[in-house]
Structure 1
């Protein structure tokens, strides 16, 4: 972890997680509960807990998640449920703040485009740069593929370290904002980490310095405090 970012002389990329960061709870959890019905709500929890403990890869998680849902028309059903996912209060203000400060901003998600894109569109944020896994429907089932602009690692389908490395190659410094295990690879390489939830726990365990957050206004404030010499 390097020191405070001087935004007067550095180009900066803010890499923002979607599930549990721009949303109150993970979009895949909300989609699953909406499609499983009242009697089976929460059936995804053992999968999610194993993933957050780093015991299950993203590929393994989504394979089991899709098997759990047993959908006849997965793309249609997941997209419809995704459009109903509300964003966390302050999501649009965070994006506006980054633009006003001249910061690059990218939503990097280990979730599925089938629910992330509809949720962002419903919130009026479809123009924000997005990288996420792709759900592809075949006659004999579904396949989850890595994002076009990111690749897999041993745990991730679309590893956020790819974005950090690419930004570094372009001379940028990187702020990672997240809440979970999918953000850890990016956090290990980032200049500044803004973390809560299991990401904060993993950072503490690995002695990665981070700024805590509870609300997206906290995130705005943390970004501001990281931009040395500029008022937030």
Structure 2
């Protein structure tokens, strides 16, 4: 693919996607909490919004409401979670063109890995928070060496910044409060849900990501446009 007659290096583009509510039609973590949580897990959300607790603490408290029944939780997720239409097509598109595609999530590793394998997408790279099943409850943890932030716990910006430091242009897609921090750092932003509302309220440029087929078309146009702008800048 070319932009204004100039070649665009697609191998230097990366697509990072949130998992819950972006890759999936519904937030899988919330589905599990609504079904299995002991007590009112939603009481922590207004505390986060009021600044009483951090986003990291909110997520940790929410997931601590889940029982340590990994097999039962995963069985429910694989039965009820739905993949957003077109992700397989997007994965094939990126693979064919040498574009790096990864999932960056503040959700839990066991259901992300399980669902991707269930959907035949186990080849995709992903990072997520760790689920530790101990003493009858689930404790949210973090991979060794991965940056932890107060906004979201498992820092999504870490991977985005790492890729940009290596010279990648990054397209980022998300839907929630944990995506607000990485959003302005992306070269191409794809938003829905709460992230879309945040972008609209703050006059941030974005494209909707309700359907991955449409995202592919936007990525092609966005990459071409960014490639043209980058080439123009190099020639001034």
The question of whether the paired residues in 1 share the 8 Å contact of 2:63 and 2:139 is answered with no
Q: Which of 72, 76, 93 is equivalent to 1:81?
A: 76
How far does residue 44 in structure 1 lie from its aligned partner after superposition? Answer: 4.4
* C-alpha RMSD over aligned residues: 2.7
Do residues 63 (structure 1) and 63 (structure 2) align?
no
Find the counterpart in structure 2 of residue 22 from structure 1: 23
Do residues 120 (structure 1) and 116 (structure 2) align?
yes
> Higher helix proportion, which one?
2
Structure of greater Rg: 2
The question of whether the paired residues in 2 share the 8 Å contact of 1:44 and 1:65 is answered with yes
* Structure 1 residue runs without a partner (length 5+): 1-5
TM-score by length of 1: 0.82
TM-score by length of 2: 0.80
Q: Deviations over 1:91-112 (max 9, x none)?
A: 2111111112210010111100
Give the aligned length. 218
Find the counterpart in structure 2 of residue 146 from structure 1: 142
How far does residue 167 in structure 1 lie from its aligned partner after superposition? Answer: 0.3
Distance 1:164 1:13 in 2: 9
Find the counterpart in structure 2 of residue 106 from structure 1: 102
The question of whether the paired residues in 1 share the 8 Å contact of 2:57 and 2:150 is answered with no
* Structure 2 residue runs without a partner (length 5+): 1-6, 228-236
